[in-house]
Amino acid sequence: MLDFAIFAVTFVIILVGAVLYLYPSSRRASGIPGLNPADEKDGNLQDIVNKGSLHEFLVGLHQEFGPVASFWFGGRPVVSLGAVDQLKQHINPNRTTDSFETMLKSLLGYQSGTGGGATETMMRKKMYESAMDNSLKSNFPLVLKLVEELVGKWESFPEGQHTPLCAHMLGLAMKTVTRLALGQRFHDDAKVIGFRKNHDAIWSEIGKGYLDGSLERSASRKGQYDTALSDMEALLLSVIRETRSQRERGTFVDTLLQSSLTERQVMEDSMVFTLAGCVITANLCVWAVHFLSTSEEVQDKLYQELDEVLGSEPVTLEKIPQLRYCQQVLSETVRTAKLTPLAARLQEVEGKVDRHIIPKETLVIYAMGVVLQDANTWSSPYRFDPDRFEEEAARKSFSLLGFSGNQACPELRFAYAVATVLLGALVRRLRLKRLEGQVMEVKSELVATPKDDTWVTVGRRS
Ligand code: HEM
């Protein structure tokens, strides 16, 4: 509980830190319905702690005050938007960066891409996305092979064997992301394990304990974090130099090296991609397999689509858009799991949502977890029901939120591609069953991660 409470507070601090990293602060009150500060210095921090998580706090806030509601972070007013209609009025269609990217870069101490002007930011965004797309395109057979290894292993398990999902999915995500981003040298599993050690050490401090000073106060934790970060940076720099000298083609690093970015910028983007890519991909796959294991009907429908579109051929990048039901399953996974429950922006110029004025420089939270389970937008919001995305209105709301379509978060697009290959292979060969009696508690709010490993059993599809 204490861990959770610290996390809830830290998360707000990080969000604020991330947006303030870009902009200076202001302290004007918003005049929007909401909570008064419970404490002059801490604002409503204690209320957040009492609720156990920022997401739970926001659920209560919006229940009480409606879709546009305010609270106080320390002496600073915060406005939260908790419904699609209100978010629609606020989301800037030209948004080029998200709070997670900004937050990751600020936590890692990286300036590049955010300090430059709009043109440079746009150029960096384009480079990043094309490096990601390129790595997928050039290495798609490798993704198929890595998935095949995993599914082959599951096939060899005796019927009913308990299989720990998080461990397997993290393994798959780490292998895929390192190979696609960094290339051949991660052919060796021992290298992936070394990478994972540093990845875990860095990620476990991100979203927890960093900006509340607890990391700084613990010399041993700080030492481990610094060592992991500098080891990872050294590794990435050596990969960059090797890629350049050996002309290894088609990786994320290779595409970035062909641009005008400096070596340092290539290293930073590779760090962000490998850190975030592993986490989003692993957790999307965990939740998708988990929800599938709860419904034979969904597995059968997916099987049928795969059969119709692919016959006995493997998934290809070109065929993915034709797998519409598979995309519905993944969208419904993101929605039901609230995979990324929070986002934030700093109000750049004075704005208006409904009749409410949002003053310049107010921190605006997008309460995605609230929006994704708002009964006015989604009927039976807690039910896993991929069919709801048959409706155009549901698809439109989802893409407006940044979870699908051209405006989707690039990290998520990458994760969708890997998850599609995985589901394509799993569902055609195996039957997934969930283990009764498991409670899926969520550990982190940056990307919803199960607190403990979760188990499925697999059997052959007859
Ligand atoms: C754990 C990491 C991440 C999470 C949980 C995450 C989540 C999200 C979410 C929820 C959105 C839609 C809401 C919004 O616009 O804020 C979004 C959009 C976006 N994300 Fe991410 N993201 C992550 C990492 C990244 C990274 C590393 C990058 C790029 C370097 C990135 C680039 C973007 C961009 C550019 C958009 C806006 C899409 C557009 O409108 O063009 N994200 N992300």
Rounded to whole angstroms, how far apart are CA atoms 373 and 104? 26
Q: Is the CB of residue 97 below 6 angstroms from any atom belonging to ligand 1?
A: yes
Rounded to whole angstroms, how far apart are CA atoms 416 and 424? 12
String of DSSP letters for 368-404: HHHHTT-TTTSSSTTS--GGGGGSHHHHHHHHHTTSS
- Asked whether residue 354 is assigned to any structural domain, the reply reads yes
- Cα of 428 vs centre of ligand 1, distance in Å, is 31
Task: Provide the pLDDT for residue 94.
Answer: 53
- Asked whether residue 317 is assigned to any structural domain, the reply reads no
Tell which residue, 346, 331, 336, has the closest CA to residue 400: 331
- Asked whether residue 432 is assigned to any structural domain, the reply reads no
Mutation pick for ligand 1 pocket among 11, 98, 121, 403 (CB with most ligand atoms within 8 Å) = 98
Residue 2: pLDDT over 80: no
- Reduced to 3 states (helix: H, G, I; strand: E, B; else coil), residue 151 is helix
Residue 214: pLDDT over 80: no
Work out the average pLDDT over 171-178.
98
Mean pLDDT, the chain, whole residue set:
88
- Asked whether residue 355 is assigned to any structural domain, the reply reads yes
pLDDT tens for each residue of 58-113: 999 999 999 999 999 888 889 999 999 999 998 865 555 677 787 788 778 886 55
pLDDT tens for each residue of 41-59: 888 988 988 888 888 899 9
Angle CA 369–50–57, to nearest 5: 20
String of DSSP letters for 395-454: HHHHHHTTSSSTTS-HHHHHHHHHHHHHHHHHHHHEEEEEPTT----EEETTTTEESS--
Considering only residues 151 and 441, tell me which one the structure prediction assigns the higher pLDDT: 151
- Asked whether residue 296 is assigned to any structural domain, the reply reads no
Whether 257 contacts 269, CB under 8 Å: no
Q: Is the CB of residue 269 below 6 angstroms from any atom belonging to ligand 1?
A: no
Q: Point out the least confidently predicted range of 4-8, 109-113, 221-225, 245-249.
A: 4-8
- Asked whether residue 301 is assigned to any structural domain, the reply reads no
- Asked whether residue 142 is assigned to any structural domain, the reply reads no
Residue 222: pLDDT over 90: no
Tell which residue, 288, 371, 347, 440, has the closest CA to residue 55: 371
For atom 3 of ligand 1, which residue has the closest CA? 100
Number of domains in the chain: 1
Task: Provide the pLDDT for residue 299.
Answer: 98
The contacts of residue 132 (CB under 8 Å, 6+ apart) are 252, 273, 410, 413, 414
- Asked whether residue 284 is assigned to any structural domain, the reply reads no
Q: Does the reported pTM lie above 0.75? A: yes
- Cα of 156 vs centre of ligand 1, distance in Å, is 38
pLDDT tens for each residue of 383-413: 999 999 999 999 999 999 999 988 789 999 9
Amino acid occupying residue 453: D
The boundaries of the domain holding residue 19 are: 1-91+339-372
